[in-house]
Amino acid sequence: KAGVTQTPRYLIKTRGQQVTLSCSPISGHRSVSWYQQTPGQGLQFLFEYFSETQRNKGNFPGRFSGRQFSNSRSEMNVSTLELGDSALYLCASSLQLAGSTDTQYFGPGTRLTVL
Amino acid sequence: AQSVTQLGSHVSVSEGALVLLRCNYSSSVPPYLFWYVQYPNQGLQLLLKYTSAATLVKGINGFEAEFKKSETSFHLTKPSAHMSDAAEYFCAVRSDDKIIFGKGTRLHILP
């Protein structure tokens, strides 16, 4: 069974631009969660989508948004990029909601660098 | 809201020695607790999870963790470290339908 895939793996953008990251969950998984990982702040929860609906959201500005498609694939978008948005963005999928005891499976991440 | 604190951002142990990574949680309700491992340039992988069943939880790669309510701890141990255990380890807790991660502990294995 294929794991969680994220594209692209690496991305370089400049301040003010916008970016879209993609996550394909494990087949059959309906929940996709997004996390931002930085050396200073560690792993921070961005949002979770389940059956095309946003079920939970972390403390991030409105520049960060996402969506989920009917095939459970998810995208996250960051508009008006800032230097501080440079991070590893991880997505995780699970059968049930992330808040359950169900195991979350993580993708390898997208490394975003903002210049 | 629940939270976790990992003591020690870096831990070094000799190959073959005991591995002990510390995690304390704060929770007003029985918690669900997790340990994840992250190898360089990879995503996170679940090592084990506590879901209010047995207090001693066995995970993959020889790791285990013991839930101690009186100490609000969920420390991760492995009897004998291997070079391949070098990675970053994250303790996490379920809180408000989200998974909240600790800051992580980088484990170094000395030959």
Which of B29, B33, B57, B98 would you mutate first to test chain A, the one with the most A CBs within 10 A?
A: B98
pLDDT for B58: 94
Rounded Cα distance between A105 and A5, Å, is 10
Smallest CA–CA distance, residue B33 to chain A, in Å, is 9
Q: For chain B, say whether A98 makes contact (Cβ under 8 Å).
A: yes
Which region among A8-12, A59-63, A111-115, B25-29 has the lowest average model confidence (pLDDT)?
A: B25-29
Rounded Cα distance between B102 and A45, Å, is 12
CA nearest to B103 within chain A: A42
Could you tell me which residues are beta bridge partners of residue A43?
A37
How do residues A45-81 score in pLDDT, each as one tens digit?
Answer: 999 999 999 998 999 999 999 999 999 999 999 999 9
Contact at CB, A45 and B98, closer than 8 angstroms = yes
Q: Which residues contact A108 (CB under 8 A, 6 or more apart)?
A: A6, A9, B41, B42, B43
Tokens describing residue B37: 């491992």
Residues B97 and A97: beta-carbon distance below 8 Å = yes
pLDDT for A26: 96
How do residues B70-84 score in pLDDT, each as one tens digit?
Answer: 999 999 999 999 999
B10-14/B105-110 β-pairing? parallel
pLDDT for B23: 96
With 80 as the cut, is the pLDDT of residue B96 above it?
no
Answer with the residue of higher pLDDT: A96 or A101: A96
Longest dimension (CA), chain B: 42
Q: Which residues contact B42 (CB under 8 A, 6 or more apart)?
A: A108, A109
Contact at CB, B99 and A33, closer than 8 angstroms = yes
pLDDT for A98: 65
How do residues B28-38 score in pLDDT, each as one tens digit?
Answer: 777 889 999 99
pLDDT for B53: 75
Residues A24 and A4: beta-carbon distance below 8 Å = yes
Rounded Cα distance between B28 and B25, Å, is 10
